[in-house]
Amino acid sequence: EDQVTQSPEALRLQEGESSSLNCSYTVSGLRGLFWYRQDPGKGPEFLFTLYSAGEEKEKERLKATLTKKESFLHITAPKPEDSATYLCVAYMGSGGYQKVTFGTGTKLQVIP
């Protein structure tokens, strides 16, 4: 069974305290690994796509990396506005079949 597991479930950081969020996946036919940010009561917002092991993407204080079994979202010197739930998504399939599996997310709180 395809699984996407995120850890920790919740993370509380002081402003400026860097850390990493983990997404481990057990899926067949991975076509891409996506990261989204979701603010309370709002729809997820796309952050990154990673397609192959070793790939890295950066945006402001965020950097996403991918290995064959997991992905990390590194947050460098976070600010309170980075507080949100971060979702990892595995995109699988080939030909006419496709499947998207969302992780349950890591809720990040950055304290001033």
Partner 1 sequence: DSGVTQTPKHLITATGQRVTLRCSPRSGDLSVYWYQQSLDQGLQFLIQYYNGEERAKGNILERFSAQQFPDLHSELNLSSLELGDSALYFCASSVEPHAGKLFFGSGTQLSVL
Residues that bind partner 1 (CB under 8 A): 31-32, 34, 41-46, 49, 87, 89, 91, 93, 98-100, 102-105
Cβ-based nearer residue to partner 1, 36 or 110 = 36
Cβ-based nearer residue to partner 1, 90 or 110 = 90
Q: Are strands 10-14 and 106-111 parallel, antiparallel or unpaired?
A: parallel
Cβ-based nearer residue to partner 1, 8 or 16 = 8
CB of 84 to partner 1, least distance (A): 14
The DSSP call for residue 9 is S
CB of 16 to partner 1, least distance (A): 30
Give CA angle at 11 (62, 25), nearest 5°. 70
CB of 34 to partner 1, least distance (A): 5
CA atoms in the 13 A half-sphere facing the CB of 36: 18
E strands in 16-76: 19-26, 30-38, 45-50, 56-59, 62-66, 70-75
CB of 15 to partner 1, least distance (A): 28
